[in-house]
Amino acid sequence: MSSGIGRPRMQRGRLFTFFAVALVSAACLPLAHAGPYAPGSDSTVLAELPAGTHYADVSARRLAQGRVDVAIPLAQFYIQQSRLSGDLRYLGYAEAVLTPWVRQNPPVPNVLVLQATLQQSRHEFSASLATLDRALTARPNDPQALLVRATVLRVLGRYPEASAACERFAGVVEPRLGAICIQSLRGLNGHLESAYLELTQVSSQGWLNSERSWLYSELGEMAVRLGRDADAQRWFEQDLNLVPTDFYVRAAYADLLLRQARPGEALTLLKGRESFEPLLLRIAVAQRQLHDPQLAQSGARLRAAFAAETQRGEAVHRREQARFLLEVEEQPNLSLAAALQNWAVQREPDDVLVLVNAAKAAGNPAAALPALDFMRTQGLRDVRVNAAAAVSVGS
């Protein structure tokens, strides 16, 4: 082979080699990001900003520092956004707006009610009650303060006091609202069947959507505790038709479906609402039941959320954490520890259920005795708990 002829051809061959290899290498280059990175293009969207989180809104907040008539609706807006989006950050924004007004003397009752709502959301129940006392001292018949008070006491399982707050509430609002408050308490307090009947006979014609939604959600929960799952499903669906953003009811409905081994329907119900951790928990439970590989993602998100919360020294999601540990991670002992911590803070029927399930799975049913005693003494009736504990709890 003479080098005079061979060489150019060989060079072309090498050039081809070079570019072939260059192409392959370039194609392999964009690896998954394992750590901080610089996106390739300036137009890459990193985040979309939800309502009220724009820097420009800071000027409204500055205005709120000097004017309580701006601070109150702004804080209301943030708290409502928090409820609609499931985003806890909004509560921080509301707190920032309220802070200058909370220590105001004489107190502004509306500010205090908002503050108490924030505290309740963070499970600072005694602080919330103290704030409400201040508000009620300033304005004894404030319906909002009375309703928040009834709600906090109900979560704490202090039913007689909650009922008293409901009676006072009933004295200053439309009779139908008072009835919901009173009957829903009776439903927890030994009169489930008759309270349910009373409320089913209420005609909700001409009511506001928020009022009907309140009625349906109470009826749905009562039906669940009575074991009338078909009724409960109907109430939940009526509520969600009216207020699709009611994620409290959506969660309760999902639990109903999961209990009936209908995880596929639960997933459909919760689709697109992954940003709400309590709903994400139900999604993870459903994925677990379905052996859905996407559980890896949901599980990672929940794990990170619980870890961050633990590191912050907060415990607002203990109930969800206990369920996650039991129903997704299959760690009954850790689940029981979380359920006991949760029980020390709040005492709703779901909290009893979580504790009973965890105690049973951990092989330590006696750990749930305080909760079962609570049910017995209060006359709280819940067929789910009975089924889980496999003991009779009289009502």
Partner 1 sequence: MKTLRRLSWILALVLAGPLAQAHIASNGFLTLRVEHAQVSGALELAIRDGELAVGLDRDGDGKVTWGELRASQTALQNYVLQHLHLTGADGPCRMGFSSVQVNERVDGNYLWLPFTAACGSVGTHLSIDYTVLDAEDPSHRGLLTLSSNGATQTAVLGASAARLFELDHPSPWSAFIEYLRAGIWHIWSGIDHLLFLLSLLLPAVLVRRQSRWEAVPMAAPAFANIVKVVTAFTLAHSITLSLAAFDVIRLPSRLTETVIAASIIVAALNNVFPRVTEGRWRIAFAFGLLHGFGFASVLAEMGLPKGARLVSLVAFNLGVEAGQLAVVLAVMPLAYLSRSTAFYRRGVMPWGSSAIAALALVWFVQRALG
Residues 104-163 that bind partner 1 (CB under 8 A): 113, 117, 120-123, 143-144, 147-148, 151, 155
Residue 45 backbone class (left: φ over 0; alpha: ψ -120 to 50; beta: rest): beta
Q: How far is the CB of 44 from partner 1 (least distance, A)?
A: 4
Nearest to 178 by CA among 206, 123, 138, 215: 215
Closer Cβ to partner 1, 7 or 259, answer by number: 7
| 315 is an interface residue for partner 1 by CB under 8 A | no
Closer Cβ to partner 1, 79 or 362, answer by number: 79
| 374 is an interface residue for partner 1 by CB under 8 A | no
- Residue 127 sits at φ, ψ, to 5 deg, of -60, -40
Give just the sign of the alpha carbon dihedral 164, 169, 172, 177: negative
| 341 is an interface residue for partner 1 by CB under 8 A | no
Stretch 229-248: interaction string toward partner 1, x if CB under 8 A: -----------------xxx
Closer Cβ to partner 1, 35 or 106, answer by number: 35
Q: How far apart are CA 320 and CA 254, in angstroms?
A: 14
Written as six digits, the tokens of 163 are: 């009922």
Total binding residues toward partner 1, as defined by CB under 8 A: 96
Q: How far apart are CA 150 and CA 216, in angstroms?
A: 18
Of 7, 259, 271, 376, the residue at the interface with partner 1 (CB under 8 A) is 7
Q: How far apart are CA 175 and CA 336, in angstroms?
A: 42
Of 115, 346, 357, 386, the residue at the interface with partner 1 (CB under 8 A) is 346
Q: How far is the CB of 87 from partner 1 (least distance, A)?
A: 4
Residues 48-67 that bind partner 1 (CB under 8 A): 48-50, 53-56, 58, 61
Q: How far apart are CA 380 and CA 246, in angstroms?
A: 25
**Contact criterion met (CB below 8 Å) for 354 and 348:** no
Residues 273-312 that bind partner 1 (CB under 8 A): 275-279, 297, 300-301, 304-305, 308-309, 311-312
| 271 is an interface residue for partner 1 by CB under 8 A | no
- The half-sphere exposure of 92 on its side-chain side, counting CA atoms within 13 A, is 5
| 272 is an interface residue for partner 1 by CB under 8 A | no
